[in-house]
Amino acid sequence: MCDCKNLLTLELNTGIRMSDEVRGAIEDRRPVVALESTIISHGLPRPQNCEAAIEFESILRDAEITPATISVLDRIPRIGLDAEGIQRIADEPMARASVRDLPVLSAKGRSAATTVSATLLLAHLAGIRVFATGGLGGVHRGASVPFDESADIATLASTPITVVSAGVKSVLDTGATLERMES
């Protein structure tokens, strides 16, 4: 977890941009929950995706929790989006960024919605301790040859954040995913 007194140094050293709302909540030690942005860009139809994103954040704010929707916009990892950022994720065609894609996006100056793994890493770097998502990635059906596993599993295992989720995505091999998570 980052030292709250050094958030500006973190942003300067990593290139992460944090919203004033999220920075203030972390500095004041108020609750913050990270939210992925892939659900907005790829998981829901337009225009319901933007409405849902606003609703997700409103539910948290109503409970006196600061939402930190995470994405990469124009190469810069963003922790906490303003209305324009949410609209961009909802409307613009965007790639999905896994943790392994973050350096490539930075180098190429691209934008992307973050998956569970990328959101986990960026939230951790920002000092956020709780992440909520609809579904986790895992082992894909028929993944034994070639083996196909989401980066979510390894990132979950190595990132000290509490994750609240409805479970794994329905397109996955649930049994194999649970087995990998146990190992």
Q: What are the φ/ψ torsions at residue 106 (nearest 5 degrees)?
A: -65, -45
36: annotated active-site residue: yes
Catalytic residue among 11, 84, 169, 179: 169
CA distance 74 to 112: 8
| 19-35 b/e (C-beta count within 10 Å ≥ 16 → b) | bebbbebbeeeeebbbb
Contact at 8 Å (CB) between 183 and 154?
Answer: no
3-state secondary structure of 152: helix
pLDDT on residue 86: 96
The phi-psi region of residue 156 (left if phi > 0; otherwise alpha if psi is between -120 and 50; otherwise beta) is alpha
pLDDT of residue 155: 76
Q: What is the residue type of 77?
A: P
Return the pLDDT at 1.
46
- How many angstroms separate the CA atoms of 44 and 113, rounded? 13
The catalytic residue among 36, 64, 108, 182 is: 36
- What is the Cα gyration radius of the chain? 16
Q: Judging by DSSP bridges, how do beta strands 130-133 and 162-165 pair with one another?
A: parallel
Token pair 């961009």: residue = 88
d(CA 33, CA 132): 7
β-pair type (95-97, 112-114): parallel
Number of domains in the chain: 1
pTM to 2 decimal places: 0.83
Residue 137: per-residue pLDDT:
64
Q: What is the 3-state secondary structure (H, E, C) of 15-73?
A: CCEECHHHHHHHHCCCCEEEECCHHHHHHCCCCHHHHHHHHHHHHHHHCCCEEEEEEEE
The CATH code of the domain that includes 168 is 3.40.1790.10
Please tell me the distance from the alpha carbon of residue 110 to that of residue 106, in angstroms, as a whole number: 7
What is the domain extent for residue 107? Answer: 4-182
Is 108 among the catalytic positions?
Answer: no
Could you list the pLDDT tens digit for every one of the 183 residues in the chain? 455 545 555 555 568 999 999 999 999 999 999 999 988 998 888 999 999 999 999 999 999 999 999 999 999 999 999 999 999 999 999 999 999 899 899 889 999 999 888 999 999 999 999 999 877 665 566 666 656 666 677 777 788 998 888 766 666 566 665 666 677
